[in-house]
Amino acid sequence: MLTVTTACDEPGSYSGLSAGKRDELAAAAGWIARYSVLSPCDSLRPRQPTPEEVQDIVDSCRPRPEAWAYLYRCISDTVAKLEPPEPTCRQEGVEGYSEEEIGDF
């Protein structure tokens, strides 16, 4: 079973972002998407980002509208390619984000 951990299609409209910035945003998107979608029993599910880490991502995108678009596109592409969890995997005691943790995100 091959599971995609981060997917990011790159239309030409994101050419204003450096390759390094695209790599940074793709990594953040993969982390957010996998944490948000994968079940706690999935070995590919990363730890929950801290509020400070989420704020760092927000701050890095704030001055560039194309960065927001690229981050969103990468999250969307990754979620679309993730395989659903096994039916036997149960989510018990899963903590999500509160509104205070998300802030302006």
Is 100 inside any structural domain?
no
Provide the percentage of residues in the chain whose pLDDT is more than 70.
68
Task: Give, in degrees to the nearest 5, the angle at Cα 9 between 7 and 11.
Answer: 165
Is 50 inside any structural domain?
yes
Look up the domain containing 31 and give its range: 23-84
Is 6 inside any structural domain?
no
Closest to 76 in 3D by CA, of 4, 16, 2: 4
Is 101 inside any structural domain?
no
Count of other CB atoms within 10 angstroms of residue 16: 11
Is 17 inside any structural domain?
no
Q: What is the rounded average pLDDT of the residues 41-68?
A: 91
Average pLDDT, the chain: 78
Is 27 inside any structural domain?
yes
CA dist 83 and 54 (Å) reads 24
**Total number of domains constituting the chain:** 1
pTM of the predicted structure, to 2 decimals: 0.70
